[in-house]
Amino acid sequence: MLQTALRYSHTLLKEIIQPGDQVIDATMGNGNDTLFLSELVGPEGKVYAFDIQEQALANTKEKLGDAAPQASLFLAGHETIETNVPEDHPIKAAIFNLGYLPNSDKTIITLPETTKQAMDAILKRLTVGGRMILVIYYGHDGGAAEKNEVLNYCGNLPQKSYNVLTYQFINQKNNPPILVCVEKKKGSQE
């Protein structure tokens, strides 16, 4: 069967991430992606993970246990990637799950402006062949504006520098998530 957007995001990450790589989880939440990335990069790699909620950090720490010293958890928005991840640190992949933390306060959501700042910072650091993936949940208040911002931003990236893919079930009810994958091309100037 076709993979859900969430599962397909992991497939796209797994295809390219090697042990020792440096990667970003831009929306840590309950730590599912942080754990998945930590396993892929292994003890020689590095995962930079961001969230603005104490609860997300606590849940992620519990999920990782002692198993992932390669993960650095920041209680900070992904808009701080610019300052918290040095520009000379090459990033192989980044993942966002946009929206709110499941089973938590639905008014604490990712926002178009800070998501854009994070995408700018990631693309500056992304290696050739690297991928920035966004799984966009947009059924909540404010979600449609962010979806439009991300699709507009990614859809206008220059074709000579990036491959940009969207993946979505278009016959499902209740706003199924949209996956966007941006891949940096060889010879990219940006």
Ligand X SMILES: C[S@@+](CC[C@H](N)C(=O)[O-])C[C@H]1O[C@@H](n2cnc3c(N)ncnc32)[C@H](O)[C@@H]1O
Determine the Cα–Cα distance for residues 37 and 40; give it in Å rounded to an integer. 5
> Contacting ligand X (CB under 6 A), which of 8, 39, 53, 61?
53
Q: Which residue is nearest to ligand X (CB)?
A: 29
Of positions 42, 61, 72, 108, contacts ligand X by CB under 6 A: 108
Radius of gyration for the chain, computed over Cα atoms and rounded to the nearest angstrom: 15
Phi, psi of 123 (to 5 degrees): -65, -30
- Interaction of residue 4 with ligand X, rule CB under 6 A: no
CB of 105 to ligand X, least distance (A): 8
Sole binder of ligand X in the list 4, 72, 84, 114 (CB under 6 A): 114
Task: Answer yes or no whether residue 50 interacts with ligand X by CB under 6 A.
Answer: yes
Q: Is 164 in the site for ligand X (CB under 6 A)?
A: no
Among 4, 32, 72, 127, binds ligand X (CB under 6 A): 32
Total number of residues that touch ligand X (CB under 6 A) = 21
User: Is residue 101 involved in binding ligand X (CB under 6 A)?
Assistant: yes
For the purposes of burial, counting CB atoms within 10 Å of the CB of 33, is it exposed (0-12), middle (13-18) or buried (19 or more)? buried
Residue given tokens 């920041």 in the structure block: 74
Residue 177 interacts with ligand X (CB under 6 A)? no
Distance of alpha carbon 51 from alpha carbon 73, whole angstroms:
8
Quote the strand ranges of 9-77, DSSP E.
22-25, 46-51, 71-75
Tokens of 151: 């699709």
Distance, first Cα to last Cα, the chain = 36
Shortest separation between residue 62's beta carbon and ligand X, angstroms? 12
**Binding-site ranges for ligand X (CB under 6 A):** 27, 29-33, 50-53, 56, 77-79, 97, 99-101, 108, 110, 114
